[in-house]
Amino acid sequence: MNPTRTVATPDQLDFTSPGRRDYWVSLEHDSIWGEWHVPLTVMVGPEAECGRGLVVFGSNHGNEYEGPVVIKKLLLEINPADVRGRLVFVPVLNTAAFRSGTRESSNEDGVNLNRAFVDGAGTTTALGGITHRIARFVREHIWPQVHVVIDLHSGGVVARFALTTSFHHVDDAAQSKAMAETARWFGTPFIITYQNRTPGLLPSEAERLGKITIGTELGWGAAVNAQGVRYGRHGVLAAAIHHGQLAGQIAPIDHHADGTQRIVEMVDRDCFVPAPWPGHFEPVVDCGAFVHAGQTVALLHDFHRIDEPPYELKARLEGYVIAQAWQARVEQGQHVVVVARPAS
């Protein structure tokens, strides 16, 4: 199938009529006389309800590629006749960062989209660049259409991750239960709840709005992880089916199927092991390994002091290594190892 995409401004998008529509969403370009085109597909079925649906985003960060691959596969796979409610697919949300192949929109406003969901985004001169305008587009045109949000991330060149689904602690018990159940269906070895102090996160805003919100870490290294793509595809399909937006049946896979998923928390500072000075990072345990407090988890080499032994970086608590620095060269203060404690 090779559908023709329609270039449309945000207010021209049709989220309600039955059927499938493929768009390039037009947002003004800051650097040339032109426009950015954000790919968006909406599929609406006969049981669609106002304010209910599922959206899945890829490439919130521009050098994380499992999400775009997952969504592209689903666009080729899902039959619109099977759609019961509303499905919204955005394979590449941050087109500016994706074009430059960087985490932030480095060739434009230099903003990290996953820090851009702040007051005034896209509505004030100070926050008027393309990244904040994308956040405004999501707020004004996507949030009103959906109650389930899936934000597919991976480590880019920042970190290597054990493959995980993720969400924050929320006060609403029903919302929290729904997020945990939705996360399980991805089949990943880990499900992680993480700190929610960082301002401007897309998932945090969706959660505050009461939406069932799932994040992921499906790979690393600005590559495409085949297992991560498998988990992402399965998790999106399962969410669409279980939340009443897509007809069909689906069976658990992998760590969900065999009951080996680890539920872990990364909610306090002791989870993070920072580099005390710049150097070159050498891991000595694998991602996913269980470690004890005080155990050496990595070495930091200083090649200006070639004859000195490396500095031993030690875990601050008992738990699982969820993430490590991906590149050898690290900066002072960089969280080079992250250990998540088993959830109580």
Helix (H) or strand (E) holding 74: helix 66-77
Q: Stretch 153-157: mean pLDDT, rounded?
A: 94
**CATH for 311:** 2.40.50.100
* pLDDT value of position 4: 80
Residue 212 reports pLDDT greater than 50: yes
Residue 182 lies in a domain: yes
Last residue of a domain, one of 266, 293, 318: 266
User: What CATH number corresponds to the domain at position 15?
Assistant: 3.40.630.10
- DSSP notation for 178-224: HHHHHHHTT--SEEEEE---STT-HHHHHHHTT-EEEEEE---TTS-
How many domains would you assign to the chain?
Answer: 2
pLDDT at 197: 83
277 and 212 both lie in a single domain: no
List beta partners, residue 337. Answer: 273, 324
Residue numbers of the domain that contains 273: 269-342
Residue that terminates a domain, selected from 214, 238, 266? 266
Residue 234 in domain: yes
What pLDDT, in 10s, does the model give residues 23-52?
A: 999 999 888 888 999 999 999 999 999 999
Same domain, 229 and 256: yes
In a domain, 91, yes or no: yes
Residues 297 and 220 in one domain: no
Whether residues 147 and 230 fall in one domain: yes
User: Is pLDDT at 317 greater than 50 in this prediction?
Assistant: yes
Q: In terms of domains, do 215 and 309 share one? A: no
Sign (positive or negative) of CA dihedral 148, 149, 154, 158: negative
Same domain, 143 and 281: no
Whether residue 273 sits in one domain with residue 262:
no
For residues 327 and 242, membership in a common domain is answered with: no
Residues 208 and 273 in one domain: no
* Residue 59 in domain: yes
Measured distance CA(126)–CA(138) in Å, rounded: 19
pLDDT at 196: 83
Mean pLDDT, to the nearest integer, of 150-166? 96
Mean per-residue pLDDT of the chain? 96
Whether 200 is covered by a domain: the verdict is: yes
pLDDT of residue 27: 96
Once rounded to an integer, what is the mean pLDDT over residues 196-203?
91
Same domain, 67 and 120: yes
Over the stretch 110-123, which tens digit does the pLDDT of each residue have?
A: 999 999 999 999 99
Mean pLDDT over residues 161-182, rounded? 97
pLDDT-derived band at 260 (thresholds 50, 70, 90) equals very high
Of 220, 248, 266, which residue sits at a domain end? Answer: 266
Predicted confidence (pLDDT) per residue in 229-242, tens digit: 999 999 999 999 99
262 shares its domain with 283 = no
In a domain, 250, yes or no: yes
The pLDDT tens digits of the residues spanning 299-308 come to 999 999 999 9
In a domain, 1, yes or no: no
For residue 146, being part of any structural domain is answered with yes
Mean pLDDT of 182-205: 94
Residues 159 and 287 placed together within one structural domain of the fold: no
